[in-house]
Amino acid sequence: MAVRQIRIMGDEILTKKCKPVKAMNDRTMELIEDMFETMYQANGCGLAAPQVGVLKQIVTIDVDDGNQYVLINPEITATDGSQTGYEGCLSLPGKSGIVTRPNYVKVKALNENMEPYELEGEGLLARAICHECAHLEGQMYVELVEGELVDTAADEEEIIE
């Protein structure tokens, strides 16, 4: 496993739509392992493959609920309610902004064994799923920020990814 370089806002790859993963291979499995390591090293709770320069539909999430989630080719199938709060991004370090997201999300995806499953999440998990899936479409949270981005002290930051 290795820590990969996180692409920063302004990098063209963050604006591109990702391609579906057709089959699992050693390189893709290594990418998933590297994404978790990179995410943890940066104190994030989610990371999308384009953030490490790979245009594949892969997301890793760990919101401290005792689970690690891998979403391959994710598709949000249901949302409900809303939550508004500060959100940050590893691709825009030191900044955060207020964003409204669904409070409940249901997503269907493949796991690291390419087996289909559904994941339901509320609160932070729902926010992370929405945030990361948007990266796969070439979108960043700054497009949804209500008001201005604010500077955030790294030790106080609750970073979505």
Catalytic residues, by residue number, are 132
Q: How many other C-beta atoms lie within 10 A of the C-beta of residue 52?
A: 21
Q: Cα separation of 129 and 37, whole Å?
A: 18
Structure tokens at 13: 């790859």
Q: Would you put residue 123 in left (φ > 0), alpha (ψ -120 to 50) or beta?
A: left
Residue 161 half-sphere exposure, CB side, CA atoms within 13 Å?
A: 30
User: d(Cα 149, Cα 105) in Å, to the nearest integer?
Assistant: 25
Tell the burial category of 21 from Cβ atoms under 10 Å away from its Cβ (0-12, 13-18, 19+): middle
- Residues contributing to the annotated binding site for Fe cation: 89, 131, 135
